[in-house]
Amino acid sequence: MVPAVLAVLAIGVLAALPLGRLLITAVIGENGLDLGPLISRIMRSATQRAIFNTLDTALVGAILAMAIGAPFAFLVAMTDVPFRRLQGFMLLLPLMIAPQVTALAYMQLLGPSSALLGTVGLAPPPGTPNPLLGRGGIILLYGIQHAPMVFITLRAGLAALPRDYVEAARAAGAKPWRVLSTVVVPLIWPYFIAALALAFVSGVGNFGIPALLGIPANYLTLATLIYRQLASNGPSVLPQLAMLSVIIAAIATAGLAIQAVGLRKPGFAVSRGLPARFELGAWRWPVAAIGSALIGVMLVLPLAALVTTSLVPAYGVRLSLSTLTLDNYAEVLLRQASTIRAFFNSFYLSSLAALILALCAVPLAVGLRGLPMRPRQALHGLLDLPYALPGIVLAVACILLFLRPLPLIGSLYNTPWIILVAYLMRFAALAAKPVDASLGQIPPQMSEAAAAAGANAWRRLVTITLPLAAPAAVAGALLVFMSAFNELTVSALLWSNRNETLGVILFSLEEAGLSAQASAIAVVTVGVVVVLLLVLDRLASLLPAGVLPWR
């Protein structure tokens, strides 16, 4: 009972507190409870259009993310395709690049000033609108941006897949395709649903992509509508913003309810050891080539466009030997002290958030498992909401909550810790989801046997649950780190002098029209993240099997 109470308390602090503060602002008028403004807000055509756009792009984007991420997860985890580790590694990168950078890179790739298309004579003539503006571009980039989430989540599921089932099916003469569709997919079905829900919820809350690709074409989602309301009318519209946030929360909840239905399927027993493998035979090289080509188009080309832009003195200048300059790098890395500071700040804030959440995820999920089905699902849903809401809304909630000095700790405002707290609130769902999925597959018999042998609850947690859930916890921590390292919308309102984050620096450069300098920072960020991942890769032998999604 104690773990359950603690878990409920934790969710109360992480999710119910900020959301409750917003809800109070949304529905409590001057004369007490008043739902009238909320309802009239929903009835507005602009709001309805934004609701439809949000659902549309998030859903189709999630399906696209699944279509990209799932085959790679299968290839990397279960086949002998060449370069699978490298491909898995590369596929993680979109998640580690801030959404607004991804959008910028793709726009540079396909616009009239595209250096790449220009060299092959395919660049559209000046005056051609960017093909990525609007619905299609947003969906495409949601698919690419969130494919790593699908990949990581499914990969965690596949790593835990009992090898015996697959081998039994193969021994009985089933063709690989049949094994895949009748054994593998049904067994990891909960992971599919979890991955799809993650991608959907991420799309609902995404700001960077619809901001760059939607706003110029007046294609608004709820997140960009909120931003425009705030930018247009200033903070006097806080109640209306809170109302729009409540609508977003409702949409996210609906997505999570679907997830709950999917998870009703019974779990299966996991076994550790080598995961099941398929041999591709003659198909090895063609499959590797197709995978590499896809990654090339999805990742390498836009990154190349980004690098190109970072090497010219100003956006729009053609790259040539005479225009090539490292000045943007010198400016942001040497002349502006804030950039280095921002790297450091973003690094330690996201590491701390990842560490804390990874440590808490297993006890939290175990505690929740002690509850009956319905309250448990409700609490998981609640935990997802701060992630689904636009960060700017969560940030406002945090300011309202933490500005006044609290007993013992004082005011968090104007310190980096308010950003850390907001990260914990925002990314708790990312850490909890994979762990919960993995717990669902630990057979109760193991725990029962241990209990029968006299092991108490604590001992069972440490010797059975923790080791089996560890890969999922580390996968969750990775997700948290990568998402926090690049996030912009939360820290945009919470940063203070000397506590700026990378996202803040990047956005302010873009806002000032300095795309070339912004690109330089983005390139360095990608470089830093790749180095970090390579270090992790070197340490792989020290980690439990299946922890690093690309191995």
Partner 1 sequence: MRTLLTASLMLATLLTPAMAQEGNLVLYTSQPQTDAQQTADAFMAKYPGITVEWVRDGTPQVMAKFRAELEAGAPQADVLLIADVVTMEGLKAEGLLLNYPEADTTGYPEDLYDEDGAYFSTKLITTGIVYNTAATMIPTSWKDLTTPEAEGQVAMPSPLTSGAALIHTVTLTENLPEGWDYYTALAENGAQASGGNGGILTAVSGGEKLYGMIVDYMPIREAAKGAPVAFVFPTEGVSAVTEPVAILQSAKNPDNAKLFVDFLLSEEGQQLAASQGYIPAREGVALPEGYPDRSEIKVLSYDAAAALANETANKERFAEIFGQ
Query: Closest CB to partner 1 among 159 and 230?
Result: 230
Q: Which of 40, 48, 182, 218 binds partner 1 (CB under 8 A)?
A: 218
Q: Determine, following the binding rule CB under 8 A, whether residue 182 of this chain makes contact with partner 1.
A: no
Q: Determine, following the binding rule CB under 8 A, whether residue 232 of this chain makes contact with partner 1.
A: yes
Q: Determine, following the binding rule CB under 8 A, whether residue 32 of this chain makes contact with partner 1.
A: no
Q: Which of 121, 173, 235, 407 binds partner 1 (CB under 8 A)?
A: 235
Residue holding tokens 């699908």?
A: 150
Quick one: tokens of 501? 């984050």
Which helix or strand (DSSP H or E) is residue 28 part of?
strand 28-29
Q: Which stretch binds partner 1 (CB under 8 A): 28-36, 269-277, 408-416, 454-462?
A: 408-416
- 51 CB-near residues (< 8 Å, 6+ apart): 42, 222, 247, 251
Give, to the nearest 10 degrees, the angle between helix 222-233 and helix 391-402.
50
Q: Determine, following the binding rule CB under 8 A, whether residue 415 of this chain makes contact with partner 1.
A: no
Q: Which stretch binds partner 1 (CB under 8 A): 16-24, 36-44, 111-119, 519-527?
A: 111-119
Q: Which stretch binds partner 1 (CB under 8 A): 34-42, 57-65, 310-318, 353-361?
A: 310-318
Q: Are 351 and 368 in contact (CB under 8 A)?
A: no
Query: Closest CB to partner 1 among 206 and 328?
Result: 328
Q: Are 452 and 381 in contact (CB under 8 A)?
A: no
Q: Which of 36, 173, 234, 407 binds partner 1 (CB under 8 A)?
A: 234
How many chain residues interact with partner 1 (CB under 8 A)? 54
Q: Are 164 and 276 in contact (CB under 8 A)?
A: no
Q: Which stretch binds partner 1 (CB under 8 A): 137-145, 228-236, 433-441, 456-464?
A: 228-236
**298 residue type, one letter:** M
Binding to partner 1 (CB under 8 A) within 58-97 occurs at none
Residue holding tokens 């300011």?
A: 399
Q: Which stretch binds partner 1 (CB under 8 A): 93-101, 121-129, 141-149, 192-200?
A: 121-129
**What are the φ/ψ torsions at residue 548 (nearest 5 degrees)?**
-85, 120
Please state the closest distance from residue 317 (CB atom) to partner 1, in A: 5
Angle at CA 206, nearest 5°, toward 201 and 207? 160
The secondary structure of residue 83, as a DSSP letter, is T
Please state the closest distance from residue 373 (CB atom) to partner 1, in A: 39
Half-sphere exposure for 506 (CA within 13 Å, toward CB): 28
Q: Which stretch binds partner 1 (CB under 8 A): 244-252, 444-452, 454-462, 507-515?
A: 507-515
Q: Which of 423, 390, 397 is nearest to 17 (CA)?
A: 397
Q: Determine, following the binding rule CB under 8 A, whether residue 136 of this chain makes contact with partner 1.
A: no
Q: Which of 161, 167, 160, 164 is nearest to 184 (CA)?
A: 161
Q: Which of 31, 236, 456, 541 binds partner 1 (CB under 8 A)?
A: 236
Spell out, one character per residue from 386 to 405, where the chain touches partner 1: x when CB under 8 A holds, - when not.
----------x--xx--xx-
Q: Which stretch binds partner 1 (CB under 8 A): 35-43, 426-434, 452-460, 505-513?
A: 505-513
Please state the closest distance from residue 33 (CB atom) to partner 1, in A: 20
Q: Determine, following the binding rule CB under 8 A, whether residue 496 of this chain makes contact with partner 1.
A: yes
Q: Determine, following the binding rule CB under 8 A, whether residue 497 of this chain makes contact with partner 1.
A: yes
Q: Determine, following the binding rule CB under 8 A, whether residue 17 of this chain makes contact with partner 1.
A: no
Q: What is the largest CA-CA distance in the chain?
A: 77
Identify each DSSP E strand in 116-169 by its residue range.
none
Q: Which DSSP string do the residues of 201-251 spell out, in sequence order? A: HHHHH--HHHHHHTGGGT---HHHHHHHHHHHHGGGGHHHHHHHHHHHHHH
- 45 CB-near residues (< 8 Å, 6+ apart): none
The residue ranges that bind partner 1 (CB under 8 A) are 107-108, 111-113, 126-130, 215-218, 228, 230-232, 234-236, 238, 312-317, 323, 336-338, 396, 399-400, 403-404, 411, 413-414, 492-493, 495-497, 505, 508-515
